[in-house]
Structures are given as C-alpha cells and as structure tokens.
Structure 1
Amino acid sequence: MQDLTLKTLLDQGPVVLDGAMATELEKRGVATDSALWSATAMLDHPDAIAAVHQSYFAAGAQIAITNTYQANVPAFVKAGIAAKKARQLIQQAVQIAKDARADYAASHPGFQAVIAGSIGSYGAYLADGSEYTGKYHLEPAAYQEFHRERLDLITGVGVDLMALETMPKLEEVQALVDLLTKTHPQQKFWVSFSIADPQTLCDGTPLAEAAQWVAQQLNAVAVGVNCTALENITPALKTLASAVDLPLIVYPNSGDQYDPTTKTWQRTARSHQFDDYVGDWLANGAQIVGGCCRTTPHDIATVSRIMRQAEVTDE
C-alpha cells in the first residue's frame, strides 16, 4: 500500500473517487449546519467519519478525501476550540482516513486506495458561500499564511497526495501551489476548480487558462472541477481536454441546490442522476470521477459500475 500512487491507479484505468462526507455524517446523526460543516464530527464522532470512509470503499472508491476541507485552525478557534486541540483534530482526520483504509484492506484482499488530503479555499473558511463566487481577495503572502499550518499538519501525518479543491480563484491556487512546492517539494497534488460556467472560474478566469497553469506545475497529477451541477461536467471536460493533457478529475454535486444562508439543501429533478451522465464524462476524457456535496455511496457505486462496464466494453 505504501508504494501505491494515483498514477499507479490511473495506469490501470479510470479511477473512482469517493463522495460527500457531510451528507453521510448527517445520516449518522451528526449535525453539520455550522461554519465548521463536516469538521464538527472530529469533536464527538470520529467513528462516524471512519464509517463513512469505509462505506465509500465498499461502493468502489479508490480515493478517499480526508475530512479536512473546512478544518483549519482559525475556524476551530472561532468556534471556541483551543488552537492546540484544533491542530490535533486536523491530524486526527487524516489518520482516521488512513486507518479506515487499512481496516478495509485487512478484510478485502486486493483492495487498493490512495488518501488525498483536502485543502479547501479561503472562501470555504469564510463559510458564506464564497467558494462559489470568488468574491474575496488576499495578497499571495496572506493566502499562504492562511493555508500554511493546515498543509503542514496534513503532510505531517502523511497523505498520498493533496486535493486543492473547490478553488474559485486562480490567484489563490497560484499562491497555494507556490507554498506547497517550496515547503513540501515532493508532495503530489490535484487542483479542482469551482466554476461559474463550464468555461469560466468563479473569479472570471478562463477555465482553460487556469488548467494550463496547473498542468505546467511539476507535481500536479490531475486538474478538473468539482462542486458544480451534473450538467456542467461534460462541457467543462471539453474545455479542459482541449487545453491540457493532464488527467482530468470531476466530482459534481448530487444535483440538489444549496442555500448558503440556511446551509441546507433542496432536492431537484436532477438529483442523483449519475446513470445519465457518467458514460459521457468518460467519453469526454474524465479519468477520475466521484461526487461532491450531497452525493452518497449509492452514487459512487453507480460511478464504479459504469466505469467497470466501460472497461469491459473497451476490451
């Protein structure tokens, strides 16, 4: 398991990513309607986090994203948790994912998966929906100061790669990747953007331009989009595929609609219709496919099934 990399998995064919953490925690009785979102579970329900990871492994996921997207020391401190405890919780989230993988592998011979350390944007820390608008600005050094501690904590425990996800602003990604490259020069990563439309980041940067910048970075292993509507994925893939040769990663929302004011979701007619889309995503170059907000192990099992069927057809 220690020698397994994302590239190793990709060499074997399209790779299945996991799905939403918060949705599954809610099903287990964990409240997530706060600024800490799913990170609240680290306080009182670490076993629930482990159970969610294992439910995705059982559904076919080959990548587990750590429960650290919204977990950063300033957010915990703002919620009344001491900084020392916050640091422990962030590292605990990484270890939970690694232990869940080890436990699942112990009872499932041949199982392989990598762990991706989640880094959400500064907009996610603001907890006001800014990761979907990009309406914030810091100087590069300030972005780096915000992200530095969490990067160090996650890499200190050890992950197979970093997931820089739901990123609405190229300037923040550039500052973050510069920090990561200088402080952890061997650490592989992917960047997944938050988009306004299939051609444009939330900050107005052309998606093709942003992807091209990522593709030029030495340790980048994939680029793509996440936390967007199912119907945006195919046109976004066409934009990406025309711009870069890097493996493409996509993990849309379930189709439910989010209200950042009430921090709740409403089901729509397009909710959980992965059956209708995954084949097109694969045909348009997707190499890593999973789910973001409100997706479930059932959705990931659908992704896995369609991927395996596509492999048989190709043979």
Structure 2
Amino acid sequence: MPRASGPLAEALARRTVVLDGGLSNQLTAQGCDLSGGLWTGRVLDERPEQVQAAHAAYARAGAEVLITASYQVGPGHPRAAALLRRSVDLAARAAGDAEQEVWVAASVGPYGAVLADGSEYRGRYGLSVRELVAFHQPRIEALLDAGPDVLALETIPDPDEAEALLSVLARTGAPAWLSYTTAGGRTRSGTPLPEAFALAAGSPQIIALGVNCCDPTEVLPALEAAAATTAKPLLAYPNDGSVWDPATSTWHTPAAPAPWPVRSWRHTGARLIGGCCRIGPDHIAELAAALRPGPEK
C-alpha cells in the first residue's frame, strides 16, 4: 500500500492516529550499537537497513506515523544534509511496505540533543533565539527536501527554542507538530505549560500540540493545560517513566510502570498517541488495538 494519501491534519479532524514508539530501544533490540554522540544517527549512518527494519517493526505493530532517525543529527556532522534526507527516505520505504496507510514525520530534535549531554532535559542553553534559528534552519530545509508528510518538532524543553522553530516553520509553510518535554507541570526549562503552549497556539503550520518523552503521569495535566490554551488537536507520546542519566548513559527504571489512561487522554483532545523512549512494538500494538474504530476503550 502506498504512503498515506491525505494530509495528517485531515485525519486528526476525524479520529485518533497511532504514533510509533522509541526508535533507540528498537534498534538496541536489533543488536545495533548506539554509543557515541549521534545515538540513533550512528545507525542511520552506518547501518541504514536496521533503521528501516525498526520502522517496519512499528508499522507491523499498527503505527500510522513513523518518526525518522534524524533527532540527533546536527549541522556539525560533515554529511548532515545527506543523513537527514536518508532518514526520511528510510521511513518512507517502511511506510510504503505497510498494510495500512502510514505518514512520515521528520524528527527535528532540540539543540540539546546534539550536545549528547542530556541538555534537552534542561534547556536554557545560553543561546539567543536568533542563534537557535541559525542552528535549526538548515536541518529543517534538508528534511523538507526529502518530502516528509509532517515535521515533528519534538522533545523541546524551552519556549525560546519553540519560538526559534516556529520562526523557521513560518518561512517554509510546512505542517508540523510541536511537543514539549515536561516535569512537574512545566517545561524542562521551568516555564509554565499554559505559557509554553500559548506560544504555538496561533501558528497555522502547527497541526497538533502536546508532550513527549515525559513520565506517563505528566501527560494528562499537560493535555489539560494545552486544551485550555488551544483548540488544535493534542498529542502525547510519553516514555515508560524511566529517567535518563547522561553521566552514565543509563536509564533508571521505576519499580512499577505508570498506567496509561488513554481514554482520559482522548477525552482531553489527544489525537496523536504513541510512545517515546523504551516503548516498543508490543506496547504500540496494544495501543493500536485499543484505538481502533469502534466502541471506545
């Protein structure tokens, strides 16, 4: 079946769409080495067939949106533009082989991800909005050259970076979603969520707003804050509640997994739901089954 034939925004007006899960954990499960600053970008560079296989695993599980392996590829890499375009192409191939219609979302990770030191969970990089625009613009242009269906401006810790991304987006006219990473009802940089969401609420390019790579317990309060700020579709793709330790490059896993009250998320306006770090194809398959059209589950 070919890739999805209509804009993702049109689908979100009708129903809830299933996102994929964590790319890093799936690549690790496939035996890939993610060490070094590029993270999933290393596999994109050295073993691209494994990236396509990971996308295919999520498509088989029922994911309707595949997020590319471009999260941590920054303009400092000598082949950044080529890798960014490759990331879209690999996801598009997996989407084309899927049994269901599948959209491709080009991941635009935060500046802090390229530093590979956990800065995306802190924000406040000490850069101006103008400097962040200069960082993100060539990445976004390279991704758009490859023809994704939508941009995923994801794991954003700081409204200053959101402002920079929205500035670049306005120049392109491309559709995108924007998702913050949160803790304690604020962005990771400490901004109250209503203020952070309001920044993007008026952007015509933003087709959905929400949160990702956060504890599942953070999702519902964040969605409620977003729903009070905008009528746009909302999105949520949390991790499993683990906490990343950049000093040791390890996850600290909770004793018991947090529940995913998906019905409450949907009632609050979530129309894009999936998983982030440490959420694999099995979890996405369960989510896809719960979100299939029919009696609400």
TM-score normalised to structure 1 length: 0.89
Q: Does 1:55 find its partner at 2:57?
A: yes
Moved more, 283-292 or 15-24: 283-292
How has the CA–CA distance of structure 1 residues 289 and 170 changed in structure 2, closer, same or farther, with 3 Å as cutoff?
same
Task: Give SS of 1:115's match.
Answer: strand
Larger helix fraction of residues: 1
Aligned to 2:271: 287
Aligned to 2:160: 171
Deviations 1:218-243 (A, max 9, x none): 11100001110011111211211122
Q: How does 1:1-315 map to 2 (within 5 A)?
A: 1=3, 3-74=5-76, 76=77, 83=78, 85-104=79-98, 108=99, 111-182=100-171, 184-185=172-173, 187-198=174-185, 200-271=186-257, 276-308=260-292, 311-314=293-296
% of aligned pairs identical? 35
Counterpart Cα distance in 2 of 1:99 and 1:129: 31
Counterpart Cα distance in 2 of 1:102 and 1:89: 20
Contact 1:73 1:86 in 2 (8 A): yes
Deviation at 1:141, TM superposition (A): 1.7
Runs of 4+ residues over 6 Å off in structure 1: none
Deviation at 1:2, TM superposition (A): 6.3
Counterpart Cα distance in 1 of 2:157 and 2:80: 26
Task: Give SS of 2:254's match.
Answer: coil
Contact 2:66 2:103 in 1 (8 A): yes
Task: Give SS of 1:118's match.
Answer: strand
Task: Give SS of 2:294's match.
Answer: helix
**Residue identity opposite 2:268 in structure 1:** N
**Residue identity opposite 2:154 in structure 1:** E
Deviation at 1:88, TM superposition (A): 1.5
Contact 1:256 1:267 in 2 (8 A): yes
Task: Give SS of 2:203's match.
Answer: coil
Deviation at 1:287, TM superposition (A): 1.3
Contact 1:279 1:306 in 2 (8 A): no
Deviation at 1:213, TM superposition (A): 1.9
Counterpart Cα distance in 2 of 1:97 and 1:34: 23
Deviations 1:187-221 (A, max 9, x none): 001100011322x1122222112212211011110
Counterpart Cα distance in 2 of 1:263 and 1:141: 31
Deviation at 1:284, TM superposition (A): 2.6
Counterpart Cα distance in 1 of 2:270 and 2:256: 20
TM-score normalised to structure 2 length: 0.94
**Residue identity opposite 2:281 in structure 1:** P
Aligned length: 295
State the superposition RMSD in angstroms.
1.7
Aligned to 1:79: none
**Residue identity opposite 2:29 in structure 1:** K
Deviation at 1:176, TM superposition (A): 1.5
Counterpart Cα distance in 2 of 1:43 and 1:134: 27
Contact 2:133 2:165 in 1 (8 A): yes
Deviation at 1:56, TM superposition (A): 0.8
Runs (5+) with no aligned partner, structure 2: none
**Residue identity opposite 1:60 in structure 2:** G
Contact 1:255 1:270 in 2 (8 A): no
**Residue identity opposite 2:269 in structure 1:** G
**Residue identity opposite 2:182 in structure 1:** I
Task: Give SS of 1:221's match.
Answer: strand
Counterpart Cα distance in 1 of 2:51 and 2:176: 23
Counterpart Cα distance in 1 of 2:61 and 2:49: 18
